[in-house]
Amino acid sequence: MRKMIFTMLALVGLTASAQGIKSGSEWNISNLVYEAKVNIDNTITFTAMAEGEELAFRLTPNYSKKNEFVLSEELNADGFNPFSKAPRAKYIEQEGWKLICLYDLEGNLHDVLDGSFFGEGEAVAMGKWMQQIMGKYTDSYGDTLEIGHEIIYEKGVARAEFKNVAFNGTVTGVLRISGLTDLEGMWEAVQTLDGLTLYEVEQDEYGMFKRKDQQKTLSWVNTEPRFGYANRILLNDKMFRKMKKSSLRIMRNSILAKHSYMFSSRDLADYFASQPWFSPRPSNDDVIDELSLVERLNIELIKYEEAMADKNRYVTEP
């Protein structure tokens, strides 16, 4: 009888959950994967490893509000809490997504952890980065280049292969290119409003990258939205945060523009009127209701980044 009770308790532990978050579930953000553990008091401990350092935090259910939590330090772990500026969390299960949204003291969306599917952290981050740079560009000679999945095409012909270079599991934005004579080598790809700027880089003995003198500009072929990926992928990585605020403003509003939003701000109206894919609608009454969950969250994440002081941002866009 005692053995049966222990077995039942073990089975309950395997499936324990608190407000929809199950023990053993995994949650991705950038290149990290946090594992959730539901404690006996129904709090949830999240832990991850980053470059040999443990990260940890705790969620305590707020029973007065469904699927909401208080975020705090995990006192039973030595890990550092990277979300100390986000004291409130909300679990969202919608449109096939399972997400934990973290909010700051003012109620602004700070970060999002994605538990919708399992994937090794670095692979997920690399996949998102690829979607942010894939597309058609013109180079300084006026030739069309298309960045595909680890292939660069010139005038429709595969001319080069490339690999994304990571450092301690983190996406660096550096591409190691083989082929296309003037792009042979390692290049840091930096997103800009108009396309990509490629900086030739070298790697030192510690694995760090240093920019060299040579750089190249690739201009986006604008038959498709420059930031169309913001309508499709959840921006819970660090790459978009390296862009200038002026570019982020266009990115945020391009999510609305994809739904034919009619802009009242003259600069936005003029910018999107110059895009061949944009066609404004006569009324914005239904636009917000048409936005997907990912589109709404991305708008909030971009807003949060725009509101940050420049001294607290790491901008690589020239």
> pLDDT 10s per residue in the chain (318 long)?
444 444 444 444 445 777 889 999 999 999 999 999 999 999 999 999 988 899 999 999 998 999 999 999 998 878 899 999 999 999 999 999 999 999 999 999 999 999 998 788 999 999 999 999 999 999 999 999 999 999 999 988 999 999 999 998 899 999 999 998 899 999 999 999 999 999 999 998 888 899 999 999 999 998 999 999 999 999 999 899 999 999 999 999 999 999 999 999 999 999 999 999 999 999 999 999 999 999 999 999 999 999 999 889 999 999
- 209: Cβ contacts below 8 Å, ≥ 6 apart: 167, 172, 174, 186, 188, 201, 202, 203
The per-residue pLDDT for 81 is 95
Give the ranges where the chain is alpha helix by DSSP (H).
2-14, 121-133, 245-257, 266-273, 287-290, 293-307
Q: How far apart are CA 248 and CA 237, in angstroms?
A: 14
159-182 burial, b at 16+ Cβ within 10 Å, e below that, comes to bbebebbbeebbbbbbbebeebee
Q: Distance of alpha carbon 313 from its chain centroid, rounded?
A: 16
Q: Does domain 2-119 have CATH number 2.40.128.50?
A: yes
Q: In this predicted structure, what is the pLDDT of residue 17?
A: 79
Residue 278 CB coordination number (10 Å): 18
Given a contact cutoff of 8 angstroms between Cβ atoms, the answer to whether 60 and 69 are in contact is yes
pLDDT given at position 15? 54
The residue type of 25 is S
* Burial zone of 230 (CB within 10 Å; 0-12 exposed, 13-18 middle, 19+ buried): buried
- Residue 42 region, left (φ>0) first, then alpha (ψ -120 to 50), else beta? left
What distance in Å separates the CA atoms of residue 253 and residue 291, rounded to the nearest whole number?
A: 12
Please give the Cα distance from 143 to 170 (Å, whole number): 32
Determine the pLDDT at residue 9.
41
* Torsion angle defined by CA atoms of residues 83, 88, 92 and 98, in that order, rounded to the nearest 10 degrees: 20
Note if the pTM is more than 0.75: yes
The strand ranges marked E within the chain are 17-18, 21-22, 26-29, 32-38, 44-50, 53-61, 68-72, 88-94, 97-103, 109-114, 135-138, 144-147, 151-154, 157-167, 170-179, 185-191, 195-203, 209-220
Q: Is 126 helix (H, G, I), strand (E, B) or coil?
A: helix
The CATH architecture assigned to 228-312 reads Up-down Bundle (1.20)
- Tokens matching residue 225: 């939205």
CA angle 57, 84, 127 (to 5 degrees): 70
Domain pair 2-119 / 228-312, same fold: no
Domain limits of the chain? 2-119, 122-220, 228-312
Closest CA to 166 of 176, 151, 157: 176
Q: CB within 8 A of 256, min separation 6: which ones?
A: 263, 287, 291, 299
